[in-house]
Structures are given as C-alpha cells and as structure tokens.
Amino acid sequence: MKRTGAQTIWEALVAEGVDVVFGYPGGAIMPAYDALPQYPIRHVLVRHEQGAAHMADGYARASGRAGVCVATSGPGATNLVTGIATAMMDSSPIVCITGQVSSAVLGTDAFQETDITGVTLPITKHNYLVTRVEDVYPTLREAFHLARSGRPGPVLVDITKDAQQASMEFEHAVPPRRPRKAPGHPPPEERDLAAAAALIEESERPLVFAGQGVQAGEASGLLREVVEKGQLPVACTLLGLGAFPASHPLCVGMMGMHGEAWVNRAVQEADLLIAVGMRFDDRVTGNLKTYAVNARKIHIEIDPSEINKNVRVDVPLCGEAATILADLLPRIHKRERRAWLDHLQEMSHDTRARDIVAQPHADEALHAAHVMHDLWQETGGKALVVTDVGQHQMWEAQYYRHEQTRQLITSGGLGTMGFALPAALGARFARPDADVWVIAGDGGFQMTACELATCAQEGAKLNVAIINNGYLGMVRQWQEFFYSGRYVATPIRSPDFVKLAEAHGLTGLRATTRAEAREAMHRARSLPGTVVIDFRVVAEDSVYPMVPANADLRDMIRRPAPKFAED
C-alpha cells in the first residue's frame, strides 16, 4: 500500500487507539490535516494552541491514556510550550505533533520556522525532528511508548512538510520499539524491602505521603491494603488528592503550604515518613533544614533522579509504586497504633479552617469556601473537578473531599493560570459521562476564556465556576502578608461573565449569596451545554493556614477568629 507521510501520521494514531486530537491547522501541518478525514479520529478545533496542549493534558489525566495535540510550525509550535511544560512538571503523558518547514530550507529562517525541538528540549521527555517519510510512523509509535513508560511525560514529534508530502510503501506492521529502560538502577533488592519493612515495624508515629505517582501508577488499591494492615495514617499532596479516600479513617488530609495545620504538625512529629510517588516539592517541605528532622524516611519513586534530590532518605525504593507496594504488603505486620492515631484525631479538632463553612457570617457575604463546600455537597463528592491556579485552587483542595483517583485535575508543579477551562474540555472527551466542573479565578479564567467558543462549537457540557473576587487573589494575599498591603497590579477588571457566556450561545448565571450559589449549582447541572457561573465572593479573603516560603512547617499563619451572626 502506498501512503503519504501525512497519512502515516494518522495510521500511527489509529494504531495507538487515539480517537480525538486537539489542534489548530496551519501551513506546515496542512498535508496532515488534508489526510485527516480518511481516519476515524475526531479533531477538536481550539482557539489557541496553548489550549490544545492543556486539552491533551486534561484528557491524559482523566483517562490514563496519552493525549494528543497538533500545531503548525513557528508560532503554532511555540504556543504549545506552556502546556508542554505544565505536562512535564506534572508527569502527564501527551504527544505533541508539529509541522515544520521543508527540510530543504531548515536553518534558513524560512517563513514560520522555529527550532521547536531546541526550544522544548528541557521540557519534554524526548523530542524528534523527522525529515524522511519512512521515519514518520515508527517515530510516532515510539513517541507514544516513551510518553507512557516509566515516569510519564510529554514527547514532541516535529515533522517537516516534505516528509508529510512524500509517499512510501506502507505495511501495518508494528515497528520495533526501544526496550523499556530500567529506571536508572535495578529494582529494590530483598534487603531494601526488608529494611523498609523493619522501619515500619519499629515506628510508633509513621505517616504515609500519597502523591501523583500513586494515581499515575494505578496503585491506590494497594496503598489502601498496606496502610490498613499497618494502621498507617495517610497525608496527600495536592496532586495526590483522591489517591486515598478523604473519608477513610486513616486519611488526615493535605500537607504543605496550604495544607491542614494538624497535618503539618504531624509531619514534624512523625518518626517515619513513607513517601509514595511524590517528589518532596518545596511547597510540601518548607525549610529543608527544619523539615521532619526526627523522622526516618522511605521513598518509593519511579524516577531515580527524584530520590535524595531535595530530602535525604534512609531507604530508597526505586520502581513503580504498585509493584513496590505489592512487594511490601506481605512484609508488613498487622498492628495497632492507637496512641498516634488518637493524637492525630485530637489535633484535627482544631477546626478553625472549617468554621467558615459551618456557620453564617455576620455580613452574610459569600465566601469562596462556601462555594467549594456546597459544591461538594451538591455533587455528592463525585464530580470530576478541574481547577485553575490560585486561591480557589487551594480552597478546592481544602473543602472538596475527593474519594476517587483522577477526580481532581490541577496544575501543580508549574502552577499554570489558564489551565482549567481547556484541561476540563479535554477531560470531558476522556470521560463523557462525568459531571465535570471547572473552578477558576477571575484572572486565570480570562487567560484562556477564548476556549468557551470551542465548548460551544463542540456542544460540550461543562459547568464553569468563576470565583470572582476582583483581584489576582493569591498574589494579593502575598502582598497583604509580606508587602505591607501594597496591592500593585493585582486589582483586575473583568468582563460581565454572564454576558460573555451568552455571547457564545452558552448559559450564564450569577450568585452573590450562599443561597443563590446553591441554586446556581443545582440549576447548572440540569441545563444542557456549558454553563458559566459568576460567583461574586468576598474580595480580600485569604487562604489559611499558610506556611510562608522557606519557613518551618510549624510557622503557619492561621485564620483569624471569624465573626459569626448571632443565633
């Protein structure tokens, strides 16, 4: 069979089981688009290529499969960069396909030529420049393999226009793949597993950390077996929320800069930390010199470069989380840790963080925490929530209790504003039956609000909650706490979000009180198509607790005593 390089692009995607791609056409990728109608792949036309990368990312996180985005050369390719970096930081498997100028003019500064493989070298697992038609199909197959294997991440394939236009004899044969590489060194030996089991057995105050790797490695069930057998309490990173059920008696909550106060205290009091699929990010540890100095440490991690990078550990166990947990399970003895669990329970009774949702405020104003808590109740905790980055992201993590994996999608490592709306649209294609909610700030939402047009064109059902406080809220909070309240460039004017939604042929709602907020949530779920809700919340509320950057975990800024309405 004769096939052009353009056709073999789609042949490779069909062979990988791809059913949807997110992209934007242009000159250097036009041959591929011309061939697309011959194949059973849905194309979603984005309004900006950054949105395409975020949609592929959201699709990947919601499904566990690789997401795909497509762009042309030059500005099309460079517009993907933020989304690629976001996926890289959060270990999300996406394959980015870009067109490139013809090989005859490479390096001549031809129209719309950019060295995108050079640009993305630091933010991809690997990238390729393909200049021969014979290399298109095997390179794409290999790209998917690399994106999914080991620690997942983005792979970019840049294909010259002449390679897309040329023809070759094509057979449906799976090309040879590179053998999967070991993760840097051999899997844990018996002595390493025995050492870890001994530390767990000796520990009186252990604490397990569940990170993104638990979800990516499909290890939640095994984690639950291990911690229930050893009665090991579990704290979650932001990206680990949902890896362990929030309602489980052994779940203590989120740690870190905006984690629960008692969880941060528990970290500092623990005598053993068992980190599973997390990388000891600075937002988790605070000041490394004072971080968990009395605790021995076990680190289960697929990427050897993360072990001992930030925090020195006593027992490194490098490999897939599910495999290592399965190996540990028979080595762990059943035991009670009643004193430690009772102590954690007692600390959790400090409910200042939750009082705000339990009672009405004296001013009857709508707080963002009200929205998160009431959304959790309205959806029964079963929604697939995609957040942007900022205060609303932390409030969601604190007040929406996640019970299942892949139930929260958010930008953690890069902290990308504008992530939520396009990522949620990608997640919608991955899980068409899910109740998908976007939670965004008024600032971040405006960065990719153009993708409302994509929602309208695709007839997608999303519920968009805009936490509108009139500020770039997290930056304003830092200015309040650390810059003497000088609000420089943080007050932000927004369009009328209700009219903006209506301009796209969508439904817009507004809520200024808690009762209106509850009604809007309920109504949004029953309406067809994308619904945008403008929640007008208290302007200068802050996220508590807060550990200042590089401070000790004990040095948390706590919520002032709230003023409640009289009964």
Residues labelled catalytic:
49, 111-112, 161, 474
Could you tell me if 356 and 365 are in contact, meaning their C-beta atoms sit under 8 angstroms apart?
no
User: Would you say the C-alpha torsion 4, 168, 114, 39 has a positive or negative sign?
Assistant: positive
Could you tell me if 73 and 116 are in contact, meaning their C-beta atoms sit under 8 angstroms apart?
yes
Could you tell me if 57 and 426 are in contact, meaning their C-beta atoms sit under 8 angstroms apart?
yes
CA pair distance 122, 414, nearest whole angstrom: 14
Alpha-helical runs (H) found in 352-451? 352-358, 368-379, 391-399, 420-430, 442-447
Please provide the distance, in angstroms rounded to a whole number, between the alpha carbons at the two ends of the chain.
Answer: 80
Buried-state track 112-141, b at ≥16 Cβ within 10 A, e below 16: bbbebbebbeebbbbbbbbbebebbbbbbb
* DSSP strand pairing (296-301 vs 531-536): unpaired
* DSSP strand pairing (408-409 vs 384-387): parallel
AA identity, residue 15: A
94 bridge partner residues: 67
Could you tell me if 52 and 69 are in contact, meaning their C-beta atoms sit under 8 angstroms apart?
yes
Which residues have C-beta within 8 Å of that of residue 442, sequence separation ≥ 6? Answer: 466, 467, 468, 469, 470, 492, 494, 497
CA pair distance 45, 38, nearest whole angstrom: 17
Which segments of 64-142 are extended strands (E)? 67-71, 94-100, 126-130
* DSSP 8-state class, residue 29: G
* DSSP 8-state class, residue 402: -
